[in-house]
């Protein structure tokens, strides 16, 4: 019995199954990614193919790279989170070298035990076959000589190439080389090349989330809401903006988020009026209002949530007025998020409220002067990108969008100085359904009395100095 157990343990170690329960078990399945490739094939005309490259690696400093982030389209179709790869999806089955019959090819980087000691294990051919479900896998340096006659296809669809791609002269299969060889293989087939339609097709696919994606989005958004709640409890005068940021991002990590979905925006006082402020170095005072726009990323999917908080825990009279206008505008925008409505319906509904209320307060004299204080769109798609792919047509069930109106009145604005340095944005993540919209971030308070009550609660972070 003991010998049998030892043999069984050895089998688990070899296959890697012994450790699988200790890692994430809720990642997207190979069936999901295969289903996305099948969905793309429905767009492809007869005798055509689609070519999608992995994302580029980015150099941070000297010999240090930024943490790798896969191209969202490539990840969506393959599940591979490694660089220096290309996938080719054919409409019909193809035959190569008389014996290889397939409807897709993927070229990936080879395993290198010497490098893996430093950077961790990569999938290699067997991993991509077993874990991602591809049957025809080659090492990327084989792409140069692989006999693909692109000129024989009616159309070769691909995406535009990113110009910031480094050439590793020691790697004949790096992304630079893959793209270079693709160009050389299609030089005589330029008339067949199409760099427009694939982007549109993938956007139409990605803008409607599959059930598996919605599960991950709910997780990312729930993590984000919990983090914002802790910031509300912890916020107090004399904190630095980066300390509020640290509370949120600790909570992200502590709940399982791999990364932030985008650089956290934590702007107090005059910085509340800067839409994408990311410096986060100011010391906060009791008279400041704080905009915190921060979202967790979970398994590639990101949340995007914003709240505006009084640093001393109580909104001033002027802050209450502006906040109430933005909240009313947001509620009108969310109400407009129904299936079949045009994408800008939420923006138009929110804008109507903001124009009317700013006129009533005398902050603007003419309706079009709203652009001085509200100069961005109200919604964007959300998913694998914080500003996710989509064609911005009519809303449909499965869309997840933001609703985020704001008013920003910087110092020197053409209104009474009592309004200066008040910036307010309220943002929630909304799922379009066949009925009423579902506010996925609805657990996070946004009414004035709810926020003030929560800010009176103690946080464990108040004890950390």
Residues involved in catalysis: 63, 276, 293, 304, 376, 380, 387, 404, 408, 425, 427
Tokens 């004035």 belong to 448
Q: Provide the terminal-to-terminal Cα distance of the chain, rounded to the nearest Å.
A: 57
Which residues, other chains included, contact 185 with Cβ-Cβ below 8 Å and sequence gap of 6+? 148, 150
Query: Of 232, 231, 237, nearest to 249 (Cα)?
Result: 231
- Could you give the 3-state DSSP secondary structure of residue 222? helix
Q: E-assigned strands of 172-325?
A: 193-194, 259-260, 265-268, 289-294, 296-298, 301-302, 305-310
Query: Of 237, 252, 319, nearest to 286 (Cα)?
Result: 237
Could you give the CA distance from residue 241 to residue 280 in angstroms, rounded to a whole number? 5
Q: List, in sequence order, the alpha helices (H) in 336-382.
A: 345-361
Integer CA distances (angstroms), 322 to 112, 207, 305, 363, in order: 58, 33, 19, 10
Could you give the CA distance from residue 308 to residue 322 in angstroms, rounded to a whole number? 11
Could you give the CA distance from residue 107 to residue 436 in angstroms, rounded to a whole number? 44
Token pair belonging to 229? 């709640």
- In the chain, % helix, strand, coil (3-state, to 5) comes to 40, 20, 40
């Amino acid at each position: 019995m003991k010998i049998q157990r030892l043999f069984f343990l050895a089998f688990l170690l070899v296959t890697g199954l012994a450790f699988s329960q200790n890692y994430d078990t809720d990642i997207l399945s190979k069936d999901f990614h295969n289903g996305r490739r099948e969905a793309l094939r429905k767009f492809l005309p007869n005798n055509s193919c689609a070519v999608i490259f992995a994302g580029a690696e980015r150099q941070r400093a000297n010999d240090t790279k930024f943490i790798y982030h896969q191209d969202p389209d490539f990840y969506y179709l393959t599940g591979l989170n490694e660089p220096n790869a290309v996938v080719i999806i054919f409409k019909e089955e193809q035959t190569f070298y008389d014996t290889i019959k397939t409807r897709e090819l993927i070229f990936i980087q080879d395993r290198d035990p010497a490098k893996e000691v430093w950077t961790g294990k990569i999938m290699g051919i067997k991993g991509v076959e077993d874990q991602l479900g591809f049957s025809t896998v080659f090492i990327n340096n084989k792409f140069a000589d692989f006999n693909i006659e692109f000129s024989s296809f009616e159309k070769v669809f691909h995406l535009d190439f990113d110009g910031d791609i480094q050439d590793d002269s020691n790697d004949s299969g790096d992304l630079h080389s893959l793209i270079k060889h693709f160009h050389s293989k299609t030089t005589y087939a330029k008339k067949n090349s199409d760099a427009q339609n694939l982007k549109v097709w993938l956007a139409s696919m990605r803008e409607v989330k599959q059930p598996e994606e919605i599960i991950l989005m709910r997780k990312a958004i729930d993590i984000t809401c919990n983090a914002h709640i802790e910031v509300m409890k912890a916020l107090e005068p004399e904190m630095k903006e980066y300390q509020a940021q640290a509370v949120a991002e600790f909570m992200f990590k502590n709940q399982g988020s791999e990364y932030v979905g985008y650089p956290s925006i934590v702007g107090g006082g005059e910085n509340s009026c800067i839409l994408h402020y990311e410096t986060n170095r100011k010391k906060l005072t009791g008279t400041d209002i704080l905009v915190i726009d921060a979202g967790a990323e979970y398994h590639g999917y990101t949340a995007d949530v914003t709240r505006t908080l009084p640093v001393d825990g109580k909104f001033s009279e002027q802050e209450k007025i502006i906040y109430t206008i933005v909240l009313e505008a947001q509620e009108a925008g969310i109400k407009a998020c129904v299936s079949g409505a045009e994408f800008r319906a939420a923006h138009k509904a929110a804008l109507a409220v903001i124009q009317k209320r700013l006129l009533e307060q005398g902050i603007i004299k003419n309706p079009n002067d709203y652009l001085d204080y509200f100069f961005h769109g109200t919604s964007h798609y959300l998913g694998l990108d914080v500003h996710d792919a989509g064609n911005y047509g009519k809303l449909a069930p499965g869309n997840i969008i933001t609703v985020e109106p704001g008013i920003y009145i910087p110092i020197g604005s053409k209104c009474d100085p009592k309004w200066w340095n008040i910036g307010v944005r309220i943002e929630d993540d909304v799922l379009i359904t066949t009925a009423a919209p579902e506010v996925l971030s609805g657990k996070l308070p946004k009414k004035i009395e709810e926020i003030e009550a929560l800010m009176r609660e103690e946080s464990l972070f108040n004890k950390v100095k």
